[in-house]
Chains A and B, each alone.
Chain A
Amino acid sequence: EDQVTQSPEALRLQEGESSSLNCSYTVSGLRGLFWYRQDPGKGPEFLFTLYSAGEEKEKERLKATLTKKESFLHITAPKPEDSATYLCAVCGGATNKLIFGTGTLLAVQP
């Protein structure tokens, strides 16, 4: 069964304190791993797509990496505006639909 597990569930950082979020997945025939950001009361906002192990993508203070079993979202020198829930999703398997994790709630304090 396709599955996505994100950790930690919640993370509190001081401004400038770098850290990483983890997304472990089980899927047959990965077609893509997606990272989204979701602010309270809004829909998920697309950040990255990773397609194969070893691939990396960067956007401002965020960097996403992918292995055969997990993905990391590295946050370098975060700012309070980076506070949000970060969702990971995989597409693959027999159904080709997105399977989401439960997200990591990130709070960055000034």
Chain B
Amino acid sequence: EAGVAQSPRYKIIEKRQSVAFWCNPISGHATLYWYQQILGQGPKLLIQFQNNGVVDDSQLPKDRFSAERLKGVDSTLKIQPAKLEDSAVYLCASTLNSAGNEQYFGPGTRLTVT
């Protein structure tokens, strides 16, 4: 069974530029999550989708971050404009249904904002 796929693996941009990350979850997994992991910290949830609907985006900085999952399968996370403090690893995870089940993570995208 294929795991969660993410691209790109690495991205370096200058502050005020925009960037987009892509995630394809495990086949059949209805719930998709985007996390931000700053160096030395645990992952922090940015947004949770159930199929193509948003369940929780309370910690998403909506003035600069946006995410979509139009067909209920793959998803994109966008940052525009980027700030220095956005430098982190962006992880995508998926699970079969809602909370209480184990989440499976992709390899992440390491973003460096200079």
> For the complex, what is the distance from the CA of A46 to the CA of B110, rounded to whole Å?
20
Give how many A-B residue pairs fall within 8 Å (CB-CB). 57
Count of chain A residues with a beta carbon within 8 Å of a chain B beta carbon: 23
- Are B42 and A89 in contact (CB-based, < 8 A)? yes
User: Which single residue of chain B is at the shortest CB-CB distance from A100?
Assistant: B42
> For the complex, what is the distance from the CA of A65 to the CA of B40, rounded to whole Å?
25
Q: Which residues of A contact B98 (CB under 8 A)?
A: 96
Q: How large is the interface on B (under 10, 10 to 19, 20 to 34, 35 or more residues)?
A: 20 to 34
- Are A98 and B45 in contact (CB-based, < 8 A)? yes
Give residues of chain A (40-83) contacting chain B, Cβ–Cβ below 8 Å: 41-46, 49
Main DSSP-derived SS at the A contact region: strand
A107 within 8 A of B: no
Give residues of chain B (29-62) contacting chain A, Cβ–Cβ below 8 Å: 33, 40-45, 48, 56, 58
Please tell me which one of the listed residues B33, B56, B93, B104 contacts residue A95 in the complex, with CB atoms under 8 A apart: B56
Other than the known A4-B42, A98-B43, what 8 A-B pairs have Cβ atoms closer than 8 Å? A45-B105, A46-B102, A46-B104, A91-B100, A95-B56, A97-B56, A98-B45, A101-B42
Residues of A within 8 A of B (CB): 4, 31-32, 34, 36, 41-46, 49, 87, 89, 91, 95-98, 100-103
